[in-house]
Structures are given as C-alpha cells and as structure tokens.
A = this chain, B = another copy of it.
Amino acid sequence: MATAGKDTPRERYRAQLRAEVKQHAWQQIAAAGAAGLSLNAIAKQMGVSGPALYRYFANRDELITELIRDAYRSLADAIRTTAASGADLADLGRTLRTWALADPQRYFLLYGTPVPGYHAPHDTTAIASEIMDALLDAARTPTDTTATTGDRPQAHPAALRRALHFWTRLHGVLSLELAGHFTGMDLDPAELYADELHHLTT
C-alpha cells in the first residue's frame, strides 16, 4: 500500500487500539444502528475516558467512515472470493444474502438511508465500483464480447443490464426483508429471494 504505516511500537499500539474501538463500534451498531453509536459509550466500555478516543479518530464521522470502508472491503472480499472460485451470478447472489444477514445494520450502513450532508470519500466509492466490476464480470456470458472503446473496458450492454438488474432486484428484496417489512405477511423471504435469483439467472 502507498500509505506506509511505519512499524514502530507506538504505531502498532495505535493500530491495535483503533481496531479495538471499531470492534466495539460494530457491536453498538448491530445493537442500536449507526445512529445510536456513541464514542462516549465505547470509551466507557474500553475503560478509558471519553476524549481519549479523539487521539484515534478525529470525530464520530471519521469513525463511521472507517466502518463503512471496512464494510465495503468485507463485502468486496466476499464477492471476489466467491467469484474467484468459478461461481456464477446465482452464487454471488447467495453470497450477498449471507453477508447481509450476518449483520443487517452493516448492510444498511452501505445501502441504507443516506445522511443528506454526508459525501463518501473517494476510496470508498472506489471499493464500491470494485464490487460492481466483479458483478459485471460475472454477468458476462461467453457471447458477450468486451469491446474496449477508449481506455476503460466498456462493459457489454447486455452484461451491464444483467448486473444492474441483479443489484437492484436483490437489494429490493433484501433491504425490505432486513427492515422487517415482510413480517406478518406469511411469506418466506428466502424463497422470494431465491425466486428473484432464479429469474435473474435463467
């Protein structure tokens, strides 16, 4: 990586403590959502006093941004790992659902309600398009020739459409399920999801 991160004992301590903060943060987010994340509460849990954490994170937003970054990386890894083992779109779909169900609030952190003022830093959007690239790659069928117009590999229109439908439809079912909008409707979300996935891949 470009940003060096010198391996001094102090730097290692910093990194370790930042990781510990984030671990507690994930716990709180899973329990009360991103809105209920409190630096003070984390500090209390770690046995230090409030302002101590400001040595490691400039403010609450920076911590959340870092968590978003990690979440994107985690999802990108899951997708890439699945894609690397010669998987098709259906497998990617199942991976996505598994990843989302593992921590719904983490999914919402990426694809849930955005804060009007907030603008994602460039590197997080970069990871997001990495995910999209993996999707595009998996959505490409043998018949699709990747016409490289210009410098960027232009995706085949059909593949792009497939990937887009994959994304929006699965997100549609998934987000409504995770938000609990299917409860009391006598309906198995897994079946609905599998159904959409079936439509997408045949």
Please list the residues of chain A having a beta carbon within 8 angstroms of any beta carbon in chain B: 30-36, 105, 108, 111-117, 125, 128, 132, 161, 164-165, 167-173, 175-176, 179-181, 184-185, 187, 192, 195-196
B111 touches A112 (CB 8 A): no
Q: How far is the CA of A30 from the CA of B117 in the complex (A)?
A: 11
Return A10 CB to nearest CB of chain B, in Å: 36
B112 touches A113 (CB 8 A): yes
Q: How far is the CA of A164 from the CA of B116 in the complex (A)?
A: 29
Q: Which residues of B contact A115 (CB under 8 A)?
A: 32-33, 35-36
B35 touches A114 (CB 8 A): no
Q: How far is the CA of A113 from the CA of B125 in the complex (A)?
A: 20
Q: Which residues of B contact A30 (CB under 8 A)?
A: 116
B176 touches A173 (CB 8 A): no
Q: How far is the CA of A185 from the CA of B195 in the complex (A)?
A: 28
Return A101 CB to nearest CB of chain B, in Å: 15
A168 touches B196 (CB 8 A): yes
A171 touches B176 (CB 8 A): yes
A116 touches B111 (CB 8 A): no
Return A171 CB to nearest CB of chain B, in Å: 5
Q: Which residues of B contact A125 (CB under 8 A)?
A: 184
A111 touches B181 (CB 8 A): yes
Which residue of B is nearest A34, CB measured? B113
Return A72 CB to nearest CB of chain B, in Å: 12
Assuming the A-B contacts A111-B176, A125-B184, A192-B164, are A32 and B116 also in contact, with contact meaning beta carbons closer than 8 angstroms in the complex? yes
